[in-house]
Structure 1
Amino acid sequence: MDIAAFQGLLTPEGQGLLGEIGAADVDERTLLATASRLRTRHPAELVGAALTQARLRVRGRAKFGADADRMYFTPQGLEQATRASVARHRAQRFAGRLDGRGTVLDLGCGIGGDLLARAHAGVGGIGVELDPLTAAVARANLRAFALEDLADVRPGDAAAQDPDGHAAVFADPGRRTSRGRVFDPEAYLPPLGTVLAIAGRAPGGCVKVAPGIPHEAVPPGAEAEWISDGGEVKEAALWLGHLAGDTPRRATVLRPGREAATLTAEPDLGPPPIADWRRYLYEPDGAVVRAHLVAEVAARLDGALADPRIAYITSDALRATPFARPYEILDVLPFAVKRVRAALREHRTGTLTIKKRGFAGDVERLRRDLRTDGTEERVLVLTRVGDAPTALICQEA
């Protein structure tokens, strides 16, 4: 889809076509017939652009919910866009810290996910996007929600922007190339060092990074926040200047219909104690593990680690926490397929969930070998204590 085809979607004919396609069946089985029927009444390029947009909107619901049906996307823009729940969480910090004063310069705004979230929160700004088509899509998204008076988008090179006059900078450098994901922060587009330098010239800043960013890549004085949504770590962000909190590391867990739960580093807290397995096993949320805050969760649970290198907490206390999922331990045994299979049968195991941490075995092959046929739901946790592979048979607590 080129810019001309996309601009055609914004015309009355294009809008009518999008509405017609939105009410039609555009799955793979009927796509060819739908396209042929529409091409008898509309230009082929416009039909192709509308069908592409309709299918992207269906995919976009996973990130944007019902709002996706009003939005515009490119395939790459949708892939790289921030999930709406995460963008709203970040926008709340911008809104709270800026308090209506000043605008945000958004470097590499993509289709405008974060720009939209901030504008919905009352924070204005300018998005900069290198690709002209993606910039046009972002502008159309602002218009779709009547937010063009608060924010705008212009084509440009993020690395060449001057933050002067803006209260803060937000940057989302590209982390994908034609060969796949980029893990080295200095291979981002633009490199992390470049966007940090630009953001550092504004009173406040936020740079979106991959959740696997090495802790040593976090600049001094910045706050690193890891965010999970629905139990899955989505991304991390580096907060700078007056947008940073007074903690070096933070884990945030987003929960539908509830306030975000956040956990911060406690500098005076030592490592958790080491102990034998107790009654319960807690699996820390991935954001907690990425943020190196397992000790903070263990302290809240009166917990310990069975192995200092493995992020499983064990405790005799059963306590509700958004930062870890509890399981009741039914059995602990050295790992051996025959022995584990026999123990699972003793526990009348039918539906089996297998989790592993620090265990190198092939889970799917093991599942076939275990052949559970009972009636109870169990959780098999595979880990190690020291050099000894260990299996724990658990149930949801």
Structure 2
Amino acid sequence: MNDPVLAFAALLTPEGRALLDEVRGTDPAKELAVATRLRRDHPADLVSAALGQARLRQRAAAAKFTPEDADRMFFTPNGFEQSTRTSVATYRAARLLDLGVTSVADLCCGIGGDAIALARAGVRVLAVDRDPLTVAVARANAEALGLAELIEVREADVTEVDTSAYDAVFVDPARRGGRGRIFDPEAYSPPLSWAIGAATTAPLAALKIAPGVPHEAIPAAAEAEWISDGGDVKEAVLWFGTGVQAGAVRATLLPGPRVLHGRGLPDPEVRSVGRYLYEPDGAVIRAHLVAEVAEEVGGGLVDETIAYVTADELRPTAYASAYEITDQLPFGVKKLKALLREREVGVLTVKKRGSAVEPEELRRKVKPQGPNSATVFLTRVAGAPAMLIGRPV
């Protein structure tokens, strides 16, 4: 079947749903045998579509959605890749709710992950996308999760949609193309400049962008927020109309949320390595808030270009992982191998910042053996390649 929308619609028929139930949880190693058996009684393209959904549902349950939701939802490969993780979407919906929002125009809605979180918070949503298959999937997801009364899914060009009837606008431009991720914000679909224009004309708006966006590309009128979940940086959001001072910066760590606000501090001073090393959360680093962490723990940088903070005292912080440093050595594989052998280290965690050495390559060369564990940081200390050995606190 050449039409992807018709092929997807076939999955929503009684025969398609029965096939989805039958292939649920199929072991990838047994997929060929399952497909061969099912094609005796069902169209080959329908069997392929059902098995494809089963694979995507397994990936979604493992990475972004709860197993309960993933088992009922529908996905496209690209839609899954660009969808927002449930924990992040739920956090953002809660913030919009706290800001008094009762209705949102979700532009570039994709398969509907953000629309679902908003609707579950009681917010009325207009979900818009221009791709017919994506729209069909988003509509099916709203129905599958019992949220169709709160989510209107519309196939349209988002640049032509009137959003004046909604309290807020949420824009999530496509950041993937035929060759993978798109790093130029003006190559987003729609371009970042259009999305910013749409955001600034709405009463309140949130614009989701890649976390690696250059700070100079952020408009002065926006509040910029970087979000991580479980230590993994997931996205940046530009907020407009929230009442927060323009140009404000925050790092939000999930679960929690734990929020670190920027205070415009100068860069920390470089100092000698102390007893403790702090590794700031990725959202803190992306938000350029390492100075706020350094002030919190009473520390300084190991190098002016490296986002590792060192201090003599252990101070608890929600925004960085702490390690007790036992050894500091100039970089050298032989030296590290000898030290690990002496300490009987068999489990070695390799972290790096400012080093070209690949962790797996180093691990192969030092061949750790023994009952103990350690962490080695490959970095620079005052400009020189160095190894810091320690353990998590």
Give secondary structure in 1 for the equivalent of 2:99.
helix
Partner of 2:136: 136
1:358 Cα deviation from its structure 2 partner: 1.1
Partner of 2:190: 190
1:11 Cα deviation from its structure 2 partner: 2.3
Partner of 1:250: 250
Partner of 1:112: 112
**Partners of 1:361 and 1:340 in 2: how far apart?**
13
1:221 Cα deviation from its structure 2 partner: 1.8
**Partners of 2:57 and 2:358 in 1: how far apart?**
37
**Partners of 1:90 and 1:274 in 2: how far apart?**
36
Aligned pair in 2 of structure 1 residues 35, 265: CA closer, same or farther (>3 Å)? same
**Residues 205 and 240, structure 1, Cα contact 8 Å, conserved in 2:** yes
Cα deviation code 1:181-200 (max 9, x no counterpart)? 11111111110001111121
Give secondary structure in 2 for the equivalent of 1:29.
helix
Aligned pair in 2 of structure 1 residues 73, 244: CA closer, same or farther (>3 Å)? farther
Letter matched to residue 304 of structure 2? P
Cα deviation code 1:147-169 (max 9, x no counterpart)? 11111111111222232221111
> How many residues end up aligned between the 2 structures?
389
Q: Does 1:322 align with 2:318?
A: yes
**Residues 162 and 198, structure 1, Cα contact 8 Å, conserved in 2:** no
Aligned pair in 2 of structure 1 residues 74, 316: CA closer, same or farther (>3 Å)? same
Give secondary structure in 2 for the equivalent of 1:330.
strand
**Residues 247 and 264, structure 1, Cα contact 8 Å, conserved in 2:** no
**Residues 203 and 241, structure 2, Cα contact 8 Å, conserved in 1:** yes
Letter matched to residue 69 of structure 1? D
**Residues 344 and 393, structure 1, Cα contact 8 Å, conserved in 2:** no
1:97 Cα deviation from its structure 2 partner: 0.8
**Partners of 2:41 and 2:244 in 1: how far apart?**
55
Listed as ranges, the matches of 1:123-202 within 5 Å are 123-202=123-202
Letter matched to residue 90 of structure 2? R
Q: 1:262 aligns with which of 256, 259, 262?
A: 259
**Residues 171 and 195, structure 1, Cα contact 8 Å, conserved in 2:** yes
Aligned pair in 2 of structure 1 residues 245, 227: CA closer, same or farther (>3 Å)? farther
Partner of 2:207: 207
Give secondary structure in 2 for the equivalent of 1:64.
coil
1:27 Cα deviation from its structure 2 partner: 2.7
**Residues 247 and 265, structure 1, Cα contact 8 Å, conserved in 2:** no
For normalisation by structure 1, the TM-score amounts to: 0.93
Listed as ranges, the matches of 1:310-349 within 5 Å are 310-349=306-345
1:3 Cα deviation from its structure 2 partner: 1.2
Q: More displaced, 155-164 or 210-219?
A: 155-164
**Residues 163 and 201, structure 1, Cα contact 8 Å, conserved in 2:** no
Cα deviation code 1:68-125 (max 9, x no counterpart)? 001011111011111111111111111111253xx21111100000010100111111
Q: 2:281 aligns with which of 275, 281, 285?
A: 285
Q: 2:99 aligns with which of 79, 97, 100?
A: 97
1:320 Cα deviation from its structure 2 partner: 2.8
Letter matched to residue 63 of structure 1? K
* RMSD after superposition: 1.7
Aligned pair in 2 of structure 1 residues 99, 134: CA closer, same or farther (>3 Å)? closer
Give secondary structure in 1 for the equivalent of 2:346.
strand
Letter matched to residue 21 of structure 1? V
1:58 Cα deviation from its structure 2 partner: 0.9
1:249 Cα deviation from its structure 2 partner: 0.9
Aligned pair in 2 of structure 1 residues 387, 307: CA closer, same or farther (>3 Å)? closer
Q: More displaced, 246-255 or 379-388?
A: 246-255
Give identity over the alignment, percent: 53
Letter matched to residue 37 of structure 1? R
Partner of 2:42: 42
Q: Does 1:361 align with 2:363?
A: no
Listed as ranges, the matches of 1:27-106 within 5 Å are 27-61=27-61, 62-66=63-67, 67-100=69-102, 103-106=103-106
Give secondary structure in 2 for the equivalent of 1:142.
helix
**Partners of 1:387 and 1:288 in 2: how far apart?**
23
**Partners of 1:19 and 1:141 in 2: how far apart?**
16
Give secondary structure in 1 for the equivalent of 2:338.
helix
Unaligned 5+ segments in structure 1 are none
**Partners of 2:348 and 2:18 in 1: how far apart?**
50
For normalisation by structure 2, the TM-score amounts to: 0.94
1:244 Cα deviation from its structure 2 partner: 5.2
Letter matched to residue 174 of structure 1? A
Unaligned 5+ segments in structure 2 are none
Aligned pair in 2 of structure 1 residues 282, 51: CA closer, same or farther (>3 Å)? same
**Partners of 1:44 and 1:342 in 2: how far apart?**
59
Give secondary structure in 2 for the equivalent of 1:169.
strand
1:246 Cα deviation from its structure 2 partner: 6.4
1:346 Cα deviation from its structure 2 partner: 3.0
1:232 Cα deviation from its structure 2 partner: 1.0
Partner of 1:376: 372
